[in-house]
């Protein structure tokens, strides 16, 4: 009887350990099937949007503070750019936008035309990826695209028995 209980506990532990990997596999299948509704079940949109807005605004502030020019026009344009960040992120980070990005395409934000949309396949563009637990409730996926020096980091958090994407960290210092 104790061996059965131990086996059940071990199976439960393995299942909990494998859950983020199962989530990633299911997300990949949903992206390949172009099923934006299914993809959206794996994403915490308010958290991802806020995370990206914070990253872009911090980048703009950094560029502003390191700039040698301190004229009013540059400051005004930076403030304008920061106000546009919210609108662009809100337009891009939708179920359809995330699905397109995961397919290696550009989301339609209304600021780009459909003719500029890339048709590359993510299977061909992903060079390497690595995964790791950050904590019991956080899991990280690092993706390095072929031919690009930067690595994109995606953080998932436990949400009950499932996992959801809460952060997409995009390196901006190389741009």
Contacts of residues 144-153 at CB distance under 8 Å and 24 or more positions apart, as own/partner, are 149/174, 150/174
pLDDT for res 114: 44
Reading the chain (175 residues) residue by residue, the pLDDT tens digits are 688 999 999 999 999 999 999 999 999 899 889 898 999 999 999 999 999 989 888 888 787 777 666 666 777 777 777 778 888 888 888 888 888 777 767 666 555 544 333 344 444 455 678 899 999 999 999 887 777 777 888 999 998 889 999 998 888 775 4
Has this prediction a pTM greater than 0.85? no
SS3 state at 47 = helix
pLDDT for res 135: 94
Cα separation, 84 vs 127, whole angstroms: 32
Instruction: Say which DSSP state 150 is in.
Output: -
Residue 148 burial (CB count, 10 A): 13
For the sheet containing 138-145, what is the strand order?
A: 126-135, 138-145, 151-159, 162-169
């Amino acid at each position: 009887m104790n061996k059965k209980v131990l086996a059940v506990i071990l199976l439960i532990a393995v299942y909990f350990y494998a859950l983020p990997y199962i989530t990633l596999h299911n997300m990949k299948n949903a992206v390949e099937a172009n099923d934006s509704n299914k993809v959206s079940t794996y994403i915490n949109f308010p958290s991802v949007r806020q995370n990206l807005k914070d990253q872009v605004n911090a980048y703009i502030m950094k560029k502003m503070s390191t700039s040698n020019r301190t004229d009013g026009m540059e400051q005004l344009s930076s403030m304008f750019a920061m106000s546009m960040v919210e609108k662009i992120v809100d337009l891009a980070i939708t179920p359809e936008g995330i699905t397109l990005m995961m397919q290696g395409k550009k989301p339609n934000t209304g600021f780009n035309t459909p003719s500029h949309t890339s048709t590359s396949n993510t299977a061909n563009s992903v060079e390497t990826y690595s995964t790791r637990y950050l904590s019991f409730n956080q899991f990280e996926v690092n993706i390095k695209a072929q031919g690009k020096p930067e690595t994109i980091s995606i953080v998932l958090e436990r949400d009950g028995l499932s996992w959801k994407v809460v952060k997409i960290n995009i390196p901006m210092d190389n741009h």
